Structure 1
Amino acid sequence: MKVTLEGLKDYRVKGQSRGITSVCSAHPLVLRAALRLGRDTNSSVLIEATCNQVNHRGGYTGMQPIDFAQLVFSLAKEEGCPKDIIILGGDHLGPNPWKILPADEAMGEAEKMIAAYVKAGFRKLHIDTSMGCKGEPIALDDELVSQRAVRLIKKAEEIAKDSDQSLPLYIIGTEVPPPGGADHDITSLEPTRPEAVKRTYSVHQDALHKAGLEDVISRLLGIVVQPGVEFGNWNIVQYDSAKAQRLSTFLNDNPNLVFEAHSTDYQGTCSLSQLVQDGYAILKVGPELTFAVRECLFALDLIASELFENYPNRNLSNNLEQLMLEKPDYWNSHYHGNDHERYLLRHYSFSDRIRYYWTDPVARNCVEKLLTILNGVIVPLPLIMQYLPGAEHFAQNNFDPEEVIIWYVQKVLGSYNQACHLN
């Protein structure tokens, strides 16, 4: 079922539960899995890039927004996914990548970034100006956040009109878990207070009115809130609908909005379905998808280690371990404990910070070697049963490891599709 962003609120008003999955990843196999599923189910494919991942200076992927868009659409063409079902979104667009700079400089960079996103055809924009910059508190008050948000919205509107792009749809609100999940165990979380959501919406409306941007209010698609879901390195906080019911009542008074939920990774179909039913019509997922890629690649690594005498034992995982030790910036401040505990976290944490290393030449060469040696061989059924339970249909045929990985990622995405009632 093709659900449009604009139509999400209408389903709730009609008493129907519908949602859309926001795929937050730049991994090509994750993107292929999402695009293929959209093609096969004729459902909208919402793919988002974050401000640190993709920006006008390249981000940690080295991609500007136009590069990311071209990657998505080139993969879509290869997968036979219609272009008109693809929606591009930008996440946490604001000064965060430059917050070590004075506020005006950081916001200047954020304006350049959002201009690049809009020019590249990104339609859904999550504006996040909540963080303090140089010399400011870590978190800012609602009035200043809304003023800075409107500054970015004004730039986005100007660029959209000048470049003949569709006018953007906006997500506001910043009460979200840390990007990529928490770095410690969390036993419970309190949902956002309804009065806090009401204030966020009110101050943004006022700021838009003062800026002469009243027409944007009708394109405020939703608000990011904390429904009480999260994952740490080793644990998952499951959604508790009863605790979030007061929050959901906000939507009854504001039927023109939906909620956007971040860090819904690892919740499973039941919790995801309840989130959609309670008004969280946009479900963001990222680390769980690359966790699935890593999980499948490590299983393939073990299969290759058993099958081939000339394949070094656990070649991929061993080389990744060495790479992460040589370049610790992506995990060092997030993983704690003794040496062995940090080893386990590097490879198996739910936050999946190993995902930052897949574009490194060492990792790419190891993955290519693994996929090449397995491509076209016959993998015995018992080996599949041992390392990839459920993938028995790939045994005794010409093996295509990329297809196995895509299938593995689609298991996660299928759970989201089912929760959004798109299957």
Structure 2
Amino acid sequence: LARVAEAAHLARAEGLPAPWYVIGSEVPIPGGAHAALTSEHAEGGAVTTVESVRQTLDATRAAFRRQGVEDAWARVVAVVVQPGVEFGDDFVLDYQPEKARELALFIEGTGLVYEAHSTDYQTRAALKHLVRDHFALLKVGPALTFAFREAVFALAMMEGEMFPRAARSNLSEVLDAVMVRHPEHWRKYYHGTAEEQAFKRKFSLSDRARYYWGEAAVQAALARLLMNLRGPLPLALLSQFAPVQGEKVRAGVLQNTPENLILDRVGAVLQDYFEATTP
């Protein structure tokens, strides 16, 4: 892959900087852990060993040499590892710095940093500790779409208090109906009884619902929801269903529109990463 990237750069990227590389293959299951890993795993998630990182560096550098792109090794900036963080349907394994201490010390002599996956739902303090320990590239995904879903569901609850059922978007019901009709994105991940699966379709931290927001029926329901709530939202409902955003509206730092409430909720997650990665 590096050989192809280098060749493409030389052939077509006139005036553009050369590519940089993140190496390694310790990538966890997309969207969170399976049911085999539960909140009862108080000892924490798996941590990549120093020997594994050393082997990855040696093997990848040798591969660069064999492919004739050894000069590109100077542009390898990070290696993917597991720092012991993970999440699943209803649990988060928080970063435990003491368990990654050897890993953190090892990378200091290499000129590289680590890329950490599954950092979703870590606290701001935990994210700061990850960055301090040289896990400088923090992968996040479901935590952002989960925040989007939270904001949209909060708006749907406000709509439910303001409009008769026939005039509502009924967004949560529409979303669930589409997920039931097309279960391919969640069936392998959500186990349990029918009731437990129904709960997970809405509220699982793995947030498999993120694959359905682009469906036509869901898009139509979302558009109707935003149209129904296009006027200023009542302060009482903001206080009930979106209190953080309600305080910002009252302070005059957030415009009282449904779109801005959604953006602010997602932005709060991004702010944790900004604060963690800003010196």
Which stretch shifts more, 294-303 or 154-163? Answer: 154-163
The alpha-carbon deviation at position 183 of structure 1 amounts to 2.4
The amino acid of 1:203's aligned partner reads: A
Structure 1 vs Structure 2 CA RMSD:
1.7
Q: SS at 1:280's partner residue?
A: coil
The amino acid of 1:247's aligned partner reads: L
Candidates 205, 229, 235, aligned match of 2:61: 205
Q: SS at 1:259's partner residue?
A: strand
Aligned equivalent of 2:163:
308
Aligned equivalent of 2:243:
389
The alpha-carbon deviation at position 370 of structure 1 amounts to 0.6
The alpha-carbon deviation at position 266 of structure 1 amounts to 0.3
Q: Distance in 1 between matches of 2:82 and 2:255?
A: 46
* Structure 1 stretches of at least 4 aligned residues deviating more than 6 Å after TM superposition: 395-398
Q: SS at 1:253's partner residue?
A: coil
Candidates 202, 227, 241, aligned match of 1:372: 227
The amino acid of 2:170's aligned partner reads: N
Q: SS at 2:108's partner residue?
A: helix
The amino acid of 1:404's aligned partner reads: L
Identity of aligned residues (%): 39
Candidates 106, 131, 154, aligned match of 1:299: 154
The alpha-carbon deviation at position 307 of structure 1 amounts to 1.1
Cα deviations across residues 237-286 of structure 1 (Å, max 9, x unaligned)? 000000000111221221x2100001100001010000000000111111
Q: Distance in 2 between matches of 1:398 and 1:257?
A: 42
Aligned equivalent of 1:245:
101
Candidates 9, 21, 34, aligned match of 1:160: 9
5+ residue gaps, structure 2? none
Aligned equivalent of 2:70:
214
In the TM superposition, 1:95-110 aligns within 5 A as none
Q: Distance in 2 between matches of 1:267 and 1:182?
A: 15
Structure 2 contact 97–129 (Cα < 8 Å) conserved:
yes
Q: Distance in 2 between matches of 1:156 and 1:398?
A: 45
Candidates 171, 177, 182, aligned match of 1:322: 177
Which stretch shifts more, 310-319 or 391-400? Answer: 391-400
Aligned equivalent of 2:261:
404
5+ residue gaps, structure 1? 1-151
- Seen in structure 2, the aligned counterparts of structure 1 residues 400 and 350 have a Cα distance that, compared at 3 Å, is same
In the TM superposition, 1:30-49 aligns within 5 A as none
Structure 2 contact 169–221 (Cα < 8 Å) conserved:
no
Aligned equivalent of 1:232:
88
Aligned equivalent of 2:189:
334
The amino acid of 2:142's aligned partner reads: P
The alpha-carbon deviation at position 207 of structure 1 amounts to 1.1
TM-score, normalised via structure 2 length = 0.92
Structure 1 residue 418 and structure 2 residue 275: aligned? Answer: yes
Cα deviations across residues 208-255 of structure 1 (Å, max 9, x unaligned)? 11221111100111000000000011000000000000111221221x
Structure 1 contact 305–312 (Cα < 8 Å) conserved:
no
Structure 1 residue 176 and structure 2 residue 27: aligned? Answer: yes
Q: Distance in 1 between matches of 2:174 and 2:190?
A: 19
The amino acid of 1:414's aligned partner reads: Q
Q: Distance in 2 between matches of 1:313 and 1:182?
A: 35
Greater strand fraction, Structure 1 or Structure 2: 1
Cα deviations across residues 355-406 of structure 1 (Å, max 9, x unaligned)? 000111011111111111111x132211111111111133699742111111
Candidates 112, 115, 137, aligned match of 1:257: 112
- Seen in structure 2, the aligned counterparts of structure 1 residues 391 and 174 have a Cα distance that, compared at 3 Å, is same
Aligned equivalent of 1:290:
145
In the TM superposition, 1:347-358 aligns within 5 A as 347-358=202-213
Structure 1 contact 293–408 (Cα < 8 Å) conserved:
yes
Q: Distance in 1 between matches of 2:227 and 2:240?
A: 21
TM-score, normalised via structure 1 length = 0.61
Q: Distance in 1 between matches of 2:170 and 2:34?
A: 28
- Seen in structure 2, the aligned counterparts of structure 1 residues 310 and 345 have a Cα distance that, compared at 3 Å, is closer
Greater helix fraction, Structure 1 or Structure 2: 2
Q: SS at 2:157's partner residue?
A: helix
Aligned equivalent of 1:95:
none
Q: SS at 1:391's partner residue?
A: helix
